[in-house]
Structures are given as structure tokens and as C-alpha cells.
Amino acid sequence: MPKQTFFNLPIDKKNTLIRAVKEEFSRTSLAEASVTNIVTRANIPRGSFYQYFEDKEDAYFYILSKFTEQMNNQFIELLKECAGDLFETMVQFFQFFIQDQEHFDLLKHAFLNLNYKIEHAFSTTFMKQGQYNSTQLIQLLKTEYLNFSTEKEFVHLMKILTSVTIRNFIEKFAQDLSNAEALENYKLEIKLLRDGLAKPI
């Protein structure tokens, strides 16, 4: 988390710094990112950066947390628009973010350089603490079309959908798929999950 001095900044200076951090991590991976580039873009002394953040990783995960919060809000809005249809919501969600030009490069570098901490940040997208917990989320769903009977089963259902979604993001960027190709692949996998993988015996 950023230091309190960051949160005490005037809004315009804070936004300038956030924009500089985001631009750097949209340019390259966390490992290759440069504090020098950030402070140059933000027009602040290098020492000031460390008054606001512990290090570049601290800045990166702050930006990532704000982005996953935005993803979570978008997911909730889409779920409401889709009248609680979870699978259609997942498709709309995936389509929205592969077409999101503002965050495209940030997503690309995050998923192409995935590690446990980055994966964990994205894995909380659909049920971030402090917004919608699993009980509240279930209340938004059209549950009669979903095959789960307990909240624990629902949590694991969301983990499965999250894993499939993250893997499809990675495949889109790693294989340089067009949006149409990536969406077609994702729709196929969501259909398989929706319809069930086992034939009735």
C-alpha cells in the first residue's frame, strides 16, 4: 500500500503520479519498469517517489488493485444488465476488457508476466472484499440455472470461471489473437462449462 504521504497529496499531483506509474507499467513488465521513468513523467525528484511508495512493486500493486476494483465494478454492472445470467455476464466481461484500449497494455504486460502475486490480484476480481461477498453476489444471480447448492460450491464455481478467464486473457496476449478469435475461444469454453462436461449415462 502507498504511504500516507501519497494519500495526502493534492488531487492533481496524485493523479499526475498515478498516470506516470500507469504509463510505465503499460510500457513494460514490473521487472523491467524503471522508477527513473516514473519520476521523469511525474516531474518529481526520485526521493519523492520513495516518500509515496516503498518501491516500484508497491506502486505496481496499488495500480493493479485500483484496476481490479474497476473490473469488479464492471462485472457487477454487467451481471445486473444480464439479469443475473452468470455465463452471459462472463462473456460480456471478457469482451469488454479485451476491447478496453485504455488498459490494454497494462493487462497485456500483467498477464504475459504472471506470477503468484499478480494472479492473486486478478483472482479477487469477481468477489473483492468490502464490495460484494459471495452471499451478496448469489442474490444477484439467476440461480435456477446454476448447479450449486451451497455457498462453498459457489465460491469454487467462481474460482473455476476465474481460472478459465485468466487463461484466456493469457492466450489472447501470448498468441497475439485478434479480439474476435479470443472471444470465440472464450465463448466455446464457457459453453462447455455451462452445458456440462459429462454426458448423461
Please tell us whether the domain made up of 4-195 is placed in CATH 1.10.357.10: yes
Cβ proximity of 69 and 103 under 8 Å? no
pTM of model > 0.75: yes
Residue 126 has a pLDDT of 76
Tens digits of residue pLDDT in 155-179: 899 999 999 999 999 999 999 999 9
pLDDT at 72 over 50: yes
Residue 130 has a pLDDT of 47
Confidence band of 2 (pLDDT split at 50, 70, 90):
very high
Tens digits of residue pLDDT in 5-23: 999 999 999 999 999 999 9
Backbone angles phi, psi at 43, to 5 degrees: 60, 50
